[in-house]
Structure 1
Amino acid sequence: MLDAFHISAGSMQAHQTHVDVIANNLSNANTTGFKKSKVEFEDLMYRELAAAAGTLVRPDLTHPVGLGTTTAAIEKIFSQGEAKGTDRNLDLLIQGKGFFEVLLPDGGAAYSRTGHLQIDAEGLLVNADGYPLNPALQIPADAQDVLVSPEGVVSVLLPERDQPLELGVIELAAFMNPGGLTPMGDNLYAVSGASGDAFYGAPGEDDFGVLAQGFLEASNVSLIEELTNMMVAQRGYEMGAKVIQAADEMLGIINNLRR
């Protein structure tokens, strides 16, 4: 009887985690470049009950009883988000599996799908938080316009030139298992043992994807899907609470029989 309390409590905790993940997905439905998370559950260990006595019962017959569920993993889903036109020449959309690599203040690298770029005081292309792209690209102070081709070639228009001046190429990073990346906040991800090390290439190569200038990637959160998942998680939580209530009533009946 006591197992029912622990099993149901564990189920309620797992469903609470599910609701928390859904809440985070919904709260970032309008966050540029956000990737939704998905909860995976797994059953816990099993306890074998002793076989009932009697000649009709096989001696090798086992009676495994499960001890509940737990959260196995919370995985990021990197499906492509909808393209949103911005008419801003420093907004870049990755159409494919690639990531922008940026350098953090401590010298480490982080990865992002958000291409809302800016030019800092030194002329470097940086993300919205001021972290420069890697490899670095410096825009001349007198540049009249910045052009980015689908293959990542960055060019600028200068007053004294009739033709655009090519500055370099925006490289993209990719991973064998992007779902294993560790979220850092600010739409940034860090390498983990599950994701594997980053490998690099220019846009248009292999599965890195191509760039679209003047567009940003919207969140891949589906409101209908998340609301449906929330109702399912809520019902699961309610069922766990009802099992605890039923087990408590049964235990009360047993206690009353002893009086």
Structure 2
Amino acid sequence: MHGALWVSKTGLAAQDTALKTISNNLANVNTNGFKKDRAVFQDLLYQIKTQPGGQSSQNTEIPSGLQLGTGVRVVGTQKVFTEGNLEVTEQPLDMAINGRGFFQILMPDGTISYTRDGQFHLDSEGNIVTANGYPLEPAITVPDDATNITISTDGIVSVTVPGTATPTQIGNITLTDFINPAGLEAIGNNLFVQTGASGDPQESTPGLDGLGTTEQGMIETSNVEIVEEMVDMITTQRAYEMNAKVVTTADQMLQYVTQNL
């Protein structure tokens, strides 16, 4: 069987995976705090027919040898943690991180997950929670009679209640960062969890230790660039077509052999 058929088959499979990655990016172009993925390609093993540097005679050596590749594969996908645009919403519970860092979210099983999506809400008990009802960690509860919520750039949450002239501090928002954010595992719902590749979480006050500041009344949008994704999609489509053309050409060569020999 013609070896080019199997090589082009790996190319078709790899470009198909790359297209799935691009389609997921485009599907999340309006997802708050979303971080785009990019496919990472790697060539497969080589068949060494002639070893580079091998002796062609007693005093000469082969300069490049004969190495035949066996194709390509997608070895992984990498999250790109560039910051998205900050969109002004004027909603008091909307928060954007201007710089590095993640909000901490308490999951139902007691574990901590992390997010860049700062679109928060209040539940029936006044707790600041995500759209799925998962509370912010450390927990912050807003009093029932609060008339105004203020969140400073260093994470101090204060409210104004009737009968008092001075705002009352009700809690502090802390941020967490990782040595390798790309190593976090995406679990959906705009959430990430720690892995061995991400390193241990490093919690601190917003604006300190390299962390970004918390900006009230703003939301971080997706970092997906539509034009860039469209160009990548066109490139992927053409690569897929070329690999499919190789399959057609190899088939025609085999057809010629079977009909004429």
TM-score of the superposition, structure 1-length normalised? 0.94
Distance (whole Å) between structure 2 residues aligned to residue 59 and residue 230 of structure 1:
41
Contact 2:50 2:67 in 1 (8 A): no
Displacement after TM superposition at 1:150 (Å): 0.4
Query: 2:90 matched to 1:87?
Result: yes
Displacement after TM superposition at 1:88 (Å): 0.4
Displacement after TM superposition at 1:183 (Å): 0.8
Distance (whole Å) between structure 2 residues aligned to residue 158 and residue 166 of structure 1:
11
Match of 2:217 in 1: 214
Q: Which amino acid aligns with 2:110?
A: G
User: Which sits farther off after the overlay, 1-10 or 214-223?
Assistant: 1-10
* 2:243 counterpart SS class: helix
Match of 1:16 in 2: 16
Query: 2:13 matched to 1:3?
Result: no
Distance (whole Å) between structure 1 residues aligned to residue 205 and residue 211 of structure 2:
7
Match of 1:183 in 2: 186
Query: 2:80 matched to 1:77?
Result: yes
Q: How many pairs are equivalent?
A: 257
* 2:97 counterpart SS class: strand
Distance (whole Å) between structure 2 residues aligned to residue 58 and residue 28 of structure 1:
55
CA offsets per residue over residues 9-60 of structure 1, 9 Å max, x none?
1101100111111111111111111111111101011111258x999x9579
Query: 2:252 matched to 1:249?
Result: yes
RMSD over aligned CA atoms reads 2.0
Distance (whole Å) between structure 1 residues aligned to residue 210 and residue 142 of structure 2:
28
Displacement after TM superposition at 1:253 (Å): 1.7
User: Which sits farther off after the overlay, 171-180 or 118-127?
Assistant: 118-127
Distance (whole Å) between structure 2 residues aligned to residue 50 and residue 222 of structure 1:
45
Distance (whole Å) between structure 1 residues aligned to residue 119 and residue 222 of structure 2:
14
Q: How does 1:94-243 map to 2 (within 5 A)?
A: 94-243=97-246
Displacement after TM superposition at 1:142 (Å): 1.1
CA offsets per residue over residues 136-179 of structure 1, 9 Å max, x none?
11111111111100000000101121000011210101000101
Query: 2:40 matched to 1:49?
Result: no
Q: Which amino acid aligns with 1:208?
A: L
Unaligned runs of 5+ in 1: none
Q: Which amino acid aligns with 1:187?
A: N
Distance (whole Å) between structure 1 residues aligned to residue 255 and residue 61 of structure 2:
34
Distance (whole Å) between structure 2 residues aligned to residue 59 and residue 71 of structure 1:
32
Distance (whole Å) between structure 2 residues aligned to residue 249 and residue 193 of structure 1:
49
Q: Which amino acid aligns with 2:7?
A: I
Displacement after TM superposition at 1:64 (Å): 1.2
User: Which sits farther off after the overlay, 225-234 or 25-34?
Assistant: 25-34
Distance (whole Å) between structure 1 residues aligned to residue 144 and residue 188 of structure 2:
31
**Runs of 4+ residues deviating >4 angstroms:** 57-61
Distance (whole Å) between structure 2 residues aligned to residue 195 and residue 152 of structure 1:
24
TM-score of the superposition, structure 2-length normalised? 0.93
Percent identity at matched positions? Answer: 40
CA offsets per residue over residues 80-111 of structure 1, 9 Å max, x none?
11111111000001001110010111111111
* 1:142 counterpart SS class: coil
* 2:137 counterpart SS class: coil
